[in-house]
Amino acid sequence: MRLIRPLSTLAVGATLCLALAACSSSGSGGGGGEGGANFPDDTIDVIVPFAAGGPTDTVTRILAEPLGEELGVQVVVDNVEGAGGTVGAGEASTADPDGYTLLLHHIGMSTAPALYPDLNFDPVEDFEPIGLVTEVPMAILSRSGLGPADLDELVSYIEDNQGSVTLAHAGVGSASHLCGTLLQDALGVELTEVPYDGTGPAMADLLGGQVDLLCDQTTNSASQILAGSVEAYAVTVPERVAVLPEIPTTAEAGLPDVEVSIWHGLYAPAGTPEEVVTILNEALITALGNEEVGTQFEELGTSPVTAEQASPATLATQLDDQIALWGGLLGQEG
């Protein structure tokens, strides 16, 4: 299955505003002004629903500085991890809809409804899409010294030792969990899964030899692969990744059904004024076109989406389509 897919005012007016303390504080939270006329005039927090040091955190931190430069304010990354990204997403869904609290989430935004029956937010109804950011390949990894030299040997090793092979992931619904699920389904095996509270801790234990396998986004794993700290067997996209040219695709290596890219999107709480969403979207498109952002993304095995893809409508369609897709796939598991 393929899953890719300068405020100017008169002196009298300014004095009156100060006296009434009303003109610039009619918006909630950050003081953005009615309809976003003065937006933004305060720090913007971007919630990442995963631990610091993980792949989604890395993407967000690369984007934060140029996004802040374009908006003229500081953009701060706030890691609120837990429950496969649902804790942070839930917190973002209840934030004031003024554009000062955003959410940068990955494909887990679309799998949460199928994985968490008691989900305390609706990914569609509780958020305003701002735009897609990037699509990231996964890499199938093992700890150094496990033994297999290529994916064919790894498959044989897993089939012979499935009772003792451990597969790490960053929690139910995480990208690493989804990729690991596809891998086990394609091989017809059940491995001992070891969940972590984020990809950073999972990678740390893979490096330390405490676990055997991990499916990880190249934004988190490319540096470890290039350093030889972990073994990489395949990337889960149709074409090889430029920064990892020696690593075959899953199709090339004989597992065409294990193909998935992890898309990331930027969201605001539902009810955020349209004018504010437009400002944020325009800033996002400019930031994604920043040369340094492109270079840093390329070094991590990914690239920014195009200006056409970085639209609210494209993200909304992507979310709807992927909710339907994963709802069917994960529902079959249950």
- Can you give the C-alpha Rg of the chain in angstroms? 21
| CA nearest neighbour of 106 among 317, 315, 325 | 315
In a domain, 269, yes or no: yes
CATH number for the domain that contains residue 174? 3.40.190.10
Domain boundary among 216, 235, 254: 235
In a domain, 182, yes or no: yes
Say what the pLDDT of residue 51 is.
86
Say what the pLDDT of residue 314 is.
96
- Please indicate, yes or no, whether residues 163 and 121 belong to a single structural domain of this protein: no
Does residue 22 register a pLDDT over 80?
A: no
- Please indicate, yes or no, whether residues 229 and 270 belong to a single structural domain of this protein: no
Say what the pLDDT of residue 8 is.
36
Which tops the pLDDT comparison, 316 or 50?
Answer: 316
User: pLDDT tier at 283 (50, 70, 90 boundaries)?
Assistant: very high
Distance CA 148, CA 168 (A): 18
- Please indicate, yes or no, whether residues 158 and 132 belong to a single structural domain of this protein: no
Say what the pLDDT of residue 36 is.
63
Cβ pair 167, 191 in contact under 8 A: yes
How many domains, in total, are found in the chain?
Answer: 2
- Please indicate, yes or no, whether residues 127 and 270 belong to a single structural domain of this protein: yes
In a domain, 124, yes or no: yes
H/E element holding 192? strand 192-195
| CA nearest neighbour of 121 among 309, 278, 292, 319 | 319
- Strand pairing partners for 103? 47, 267
Domain that holds residue 143: 137-235
User: pLDDT tier at 326 (50, 70, 90 boundaries)?
Assistant: confident
- Predicted confidence (pLDDT) per residue in 188-197, tens digit: 999 999 999 8
Say what the pLDDT of residue 14 is.
37
Domain boundary among 235, 253, 274: 235
What's the whole-number mean pLDDT along residues 302-325? 94
CATH number for the domain that contains residue 93? 3.40.190.150
User: pLDDT tier at 94 (50, 70, 90 boundaries)?
Assistant: very high
- Predicted confidence (pLDDT) per residue in 160-189, tens digit: 998 999 999 988 878 898 899 889 989 999
In a domain, 11, yes or no: no
In one letter, which amino acid is 60? T
In a domain, 19, yes or no: no
Cβ pair 133, 88 in contact under 8 A: no
User: pLDDT tier at 26 (50, 70, 90 boundaries)?
Assistant: very low
Token pair 């290039």 is found at: 226
- Please indicate, yes or no, whether residues 132 and 272 belong to a single structural domain of this protein: yes
What's the whole-number mean pLDDT along residues 134-161? 95
Query: Quick one: what percent of the chain has pLDDT higher than 90?
Result: 69
In a domain, 244, yes or no: no
Does residue 30 register a pLDDT over 90?
A: no
In a domain, 144, yes or no: yes
Say what the pLDDT of residue 299 is.
87
Does residue 28 register a pLDDT over 50?
A: no
